[in-house]
Amino acid sequence: MLTLAIETSCDETAAAVVRDGREILSNVISSQVAIHAEYGGVVPEIASRQHLEAVIPVIGEALRQAAVTLDDIQGVVATKGPGLVGALLVGLSTAKGIASVRNLPFVGVHHIEGHLLACFLERPAPFPFLALVVSGGHTHLYRVDGIGRYRQLGQTLDDAAGEAFDKSATLLGLGYPGGMVIDRLAGEGDPKRYPLPRPLFHDGSCNFSFSGLKTAVATLVRKEGEQVKEGQPLRDLCASFQAAVTDVLVAKTAAALEAEGLSRLVVAGGVACNSGLRGGMAGLAAAKGVELFIPSPILCTDNAAMIAVPGDFYLEQRLTDNLTLDAVASWPLPLAAAHRWLQ
């Protein structure tokens, strides 16, 4: 089955052609990040307009790179939510339009389901496994017993991990989105120089809280003054911040693996690009004899190929959606999956 996948949930216009939900023939991503950087965050109205301009050329490029035409496509899938509704609507409506005129089956996919199955495009993780999804909008732990079979074990109670990276980067004058910049500076810093809190470290739950960490960075900047925003102090602060986030994510993941009796771990989402987190999870996996699956960075951040993994599965199962499907801003993953099995 050759699937055309479209993803427009935030500030990336993305389209991919994927064979059997496993083999990427093309994976085109047009990022709006430079446009939003000026405003210090994603401006929803601008995102929608940019998607409108980019979506058709990006789909055209995905078909061209895959060396196929719409005549070869056997199913169309697109992100239905969660995300910015105006942005989602562009990709979803385009996908429905193509499905309608070509008389093709269509599936609206949950964005997080794409993230947590992205590793299937490189090295499929055998079920069951624990999945940690860490992105700009999500920090969630799931037990995954199969495609569409998810149990949420915990989530952030306030900011997502990526949000904490980006907000702290803004406080440190590193621009938006600054997760990647913190990562780069942290590589040359001392993670022990600034003691930062490890929120909910010992609470025994699978939940997270990162807003206090951002406040701790703000307090430190106020106390230490501008000198903490440059040179070695800045590198040390980035390293200290990254170590605090990594410590919490690794400790909670270790506890969840143990509680669920799981020996396979998937880490996904944009923050899974972070070198400190990748190192921390590799250490955890080695210490506990756990098999670790983290996609290549290009499949961790938003892309359309990952949407094709669950999309292809539901197309194959004939669990398709009709063309009245709407976009949703907020959509719990287990609910979305249960609804599809029940339809």
Which positions lie near Zn ion, rule CB under 5 A?
A: 135, 302
For residue 183, state whether it binds ligand KG4 (rule: CB under 6 A).
yes
In angstroms, the CA 309 to CA 116 distance is 10
For residue 136, state whether it binds ligand KG4 (rule: CB under 6 A).
yes
CB closer to Zn ion, 76 vs 134: 134
166 contact, one of Zn ion, ligand KG4, none, CB 5-8 Å limit per kind: ligand KG4
For residue 179, state whether it binds ligand KG4 (rule: CB under 6 A).
yes
- Name the strand (E) or helix (H) holding 199: none
CB closer to Zn ion, 27 vs 320: 27
Instruction: Say if strands 264-268 and 291-293 run parallel, antiparallel, or are unpaired.
Output: parallel
274 contact, one of ligand KG4, Zn ion, none, CB 5-8 Å limit per kind: ligand KG4
**Please, what is the minimum distance in Å from the beta carbon of residue 233 to Zn ion?**
32
Helices (H) and strands (E) in the chain, counts: 12, 10
In angstroms, the CA 218 to CA 207 distance is 23
For residue 191, state whether it binds ligand KG4 (rule: CB under 6 A).
no
**Please, what is the minimum distance in Å from the beta carbon of residue 179 to ligand KG4?**
2
Residue in the block written with tokens 């440059």: 230
- Name the strand (E) or helix (H) holding 198: none
Choose which of 273, 284, 305, 327 interacts with ligand KG4 (CB under 6 A).
273
Using the CB atoms, write b or e for 223-239: b if 16+ within 10 Å: eeeeebeeeebbbbbbb
Residues 291-320 within binding reach of ligand KG4 (CB under 6 A): 301-302
Alpha-helical segments (H) within the chain? 33-37, 44-66, 85-102, 111-117, 161-171, 179-186, 211-224, 231-260, 275-288, 297-300, 305-316, 333-342
CB closer to ligand KG4, 41 vs 334: 41
Number of residues that bind ligand KG4 (CB under 6 A): 18
165 contact, one of Zn ion, ligand KG4, none, CB 5-8 Å limit per kind: ligand KG4
For residue 79, state whether it binds ligand KG4 (rule: CB under 6 A).
no
Rg (CA), the chain: 20
CB closer to ligand KG4, 91 vs 105: 91
Residue 206: φ, ψ to 5°? -100, 20
For residue 244, state whether it binds ligand KG4 (rule: CB under 6 A).
no
Could you give the strand order of the β-sheet that contains 139-146, starting from the edge strand earlier in sequence? 149-155, 139-146, 129-134, 264-268, 291-293
- Put residue 231 in one of left, alpha, beta given phi > 0 → left and psi -120 to 50 → alpha: left
77 contact, one of Zn ion, ligand KG4, none, CB 5-8 Å limit per kind: none
For residue 114, state whether it binds ligand KG4 (rule: CB under 6 A).
no
Binding site for ligand KG4 (CB under 6 A): 10, 135-137, 162, 165-166, 177, 179-180, 183, 269-271, 273-274, 301-302
